[in-house]
Amino acid sequence: MEKVLTRNFGLENSHRLETYLKNKGYQAARKALTKMTGPQVIDEIKKSNLRGLGGAGFPTGMKWGFIPQANPKPKYLVVNGDEGEPGTFKDKYIFEKDPHALLEGIIITCYAIASHKAYVYVRGEYVKSMQTLQAAIDEANSSGYLGKGIMGTTFDLDVVVHPGAGAYICGEETALLESLEGKKGFPRLKPPFPAVVGLFGCPTVINNVETLSCVGPIIANGGEWFAKLGSPKNGGNRLFCVSGHVNKPGVYELPNGITLRAIIYEHAGGIPNGRKLKAVIPGGISAPVLTADEIDVKMDFDSLKAIGSMAGSGGIIVMDDTTDMVWAAMVAARFFAHESCGQCSPCREGSGWVYNNLKKLYQGGARPHDLANLPGIIGNIGGNTICAFGDAVTMSVGSYVSKFREEFENKIKERVCRI
């Protein structure tokens, strides 16, 4: 299989400009800036079927097309490197192993939407990522790949690294904008969408780190080439992150059409200690959990959606048959209760309530109505909130309760409080 996103990962000093240039680095940016117009770049991305790899899978070319070019305000590109979705750790590898591939994608994207300023929002804990990226930006600035008159053209671009400060919700695009503007990370009501009213009230594109790292190869090899790598309507490869009960946890670059079974057993080395698979989260903790007999699904956005889960951020979390699913639901609920920004009451109150109920179910002290009430409480969060976090709580925690119902019922029989 042809490596796209990880093509340079194995090279010595893969993060250095010199290494990148030796391997056709910045040729795609040169092609875009000297031989193509902005709309031509956008067309090529549309043809590639590239979809947002940060979680939602929105078609990237279409998103760029929403930037109103007649609007006289400055336009911004904001790069989402918050990487807070549990189970996901791919953007870190791009930052640390191939930051110039990201920068090249940023240059081409900014050229396409006529933006002269990009902010890269990196989660605050990724200290090494920020240092590596800043060093790459400095190299690019001093060699004419960033800054004024890039590669002898009239195109100027400034890239700034912005540190987050430890809040999952800041990965949500509008919370990220608020945070970048120096406020608490509270998601904004949409519409208006960031394409029209984004950073500092100006038209803004927000894309994930991995999404933008696909842009250089697409411009170099053509949109059709990229579309063919994937499955229908899901162009290219993805970085799948595999963790939990597997022999070889790590990042794997594989085509979108690969099955979950192949990722777990062929690439990540299967389940340790001769154990059996019990459940898998296919796309970060927000994605509904799958049972062991659902793993023949293709890992693209549409196939996972069709079976009621989602491809999300590409974070695969594997659970073997020793896993207590009431406990697993409680751990997920603990995450949501901890990370709700608190702006909407169904999410703030609901996530805390769900967590406390599950904790009682797991530890003992629950009453039968605690289980009976659970689906109702969970169901009342989704669809009633400002951002998609509320839906994530509903779909994620709800999936444990519905798919592993028996375990919840047994728990209530075993550990019920009879007072």
Partner 1 sequence: MFTTDLLRQLDKIAGQYEQKQAALLPVLHAIQEKEGLISPESEQDVSRYLGIPVVHVHEAVSFYHLFHQTKKGKCHFSVCQTTSCALLGGEDIIEHLKTRLGIKSGETTPDGKFSLSVVECLGACELAPMMQYNKEYRGFLNKKKIDELIDKNK
Ligand X SMILES: Cc1cc2nc3c(=O)[nH]c(=O)nc-3n(C[C@H](O)[C@H](O)[C@H](O)COP(=O)(O)O)c2cc1C
Query: What distance lies between CA 391 and its chain's CA centroid?
Result: 16
- Residue 396 binds ligand SF4, judged by CB under 6 A: no
At 243, the amino acid letter reads S
Among candidate residues 105, 55, 333, 349, the one with its CA nearest the CA of residue 213: 105
- Whether residue 113 contacts residue 67, with contact meaning beta carbons closer than 8 Å, is answered with yes
Q: How far is the CB of 332 from ligand SF4 (least distance, A)?
A: 15
Could you say which of 341, 354, 366, 412 contacts ligand SF4 (CB under 6 A)?
Answer: 341
What are the structure tokens assigned to 31, written together? 């092609």
Q: Residue 67 CA to chain centroid, in angstroms?
A: 22
H or E stretch including 117? Answer: strand 117-122
Map residues 77-106 to x or -, x wherever contact with ligand X holds by CB under 6 A: ---x-xxxx---------------------
Assess 355 for contact with ligand SF4 (CB under 6 A).
Answer: no
If you search the block for the tokens 């250089």, which residue do you land on?
216
Task: List strand residue ranges (DSSP E) for 5-74, in order.
Answer: none
From candidates 89, 111, 155, 301, binder to partner 1 by CB under 8 A: 89
Q: Alpha helix (H) ranges present in 192-280?
A: 209-213, 215-221, 223-229, 260-262
- Binders of partner 1 among residues 4 to 43 (CB under 8 A) are none
Write the binding mask 183 to 222 for ligand X: x where contact by CB under 6 A, - elsewhere.
-----------------------xxx--x-----------
- 208 vs 303, beta carbon nearer ligand X: 208
Exactly one of 38, 55, 99, 185 binds partner 1 (CB under 8 A); that residue is: 185
- Residue 334 is a binding residue for partner 1 (CB under 8 A): yes
DSSP notation for 279-317? EEESSSTTSPPEEGGGTTSB-SHHHHHHTT---TT-EEE
Instruction: Return the range that interacts with partner 1 (CB under 8 A); candidates 56-64, 324-332, 354-362, 398-406.
Output: 324-332
Task: Tell me how far, at minimum, the Cβ of 275 lies from ligand X, in Å.
Answer: 30
Binding to ligand X by residue 300, rule CB under 6 A?
no
Beta strands 117-122 and 237-244, pairing class: unpaired
| Residue 174, CA distances (Å) to 127, 178, 204, 303, 382 in order | 23, 6, 11, 28, 18
Q: How far apart are the first and last CA of the chain?
A: 61
Is 169 a binding residue for ligand SF4 by CB under 6 A? The answer is yes
Cα dihedral 126/130/136/138 (nearest 10): -170
Name which of 172 and 320 has its Cβ closer to ligand X. Answer: 172
Q: Which of 37, 58, 66, 165 binds partner 1 (CB under 8 A)?
A: 165
Q: Does 67 bind ligand X (CB under 6 A)?
A: no
Query: Which positions lie near ligand SF4, rule CB under 6 A?
Result: 169, 187, 340-344, 347-348, 385-387, 389-390
Query: Which positions lie near partner 1, rule CB under 8 A?
Result: 74, 83-89, 91-92, 117, 123-127, 160, 162-168, 179-185, 200, 241-245, 249-251, 281, 285, 315, 317, 319, 323, 328, 331-332, 334-335, 338-339
Query: Which positions lie near ligand X, rule CB under 6 A?
Result: 52-56, 58, 80, 82-85, 169, 171-173, 206-208, 211, 387-389
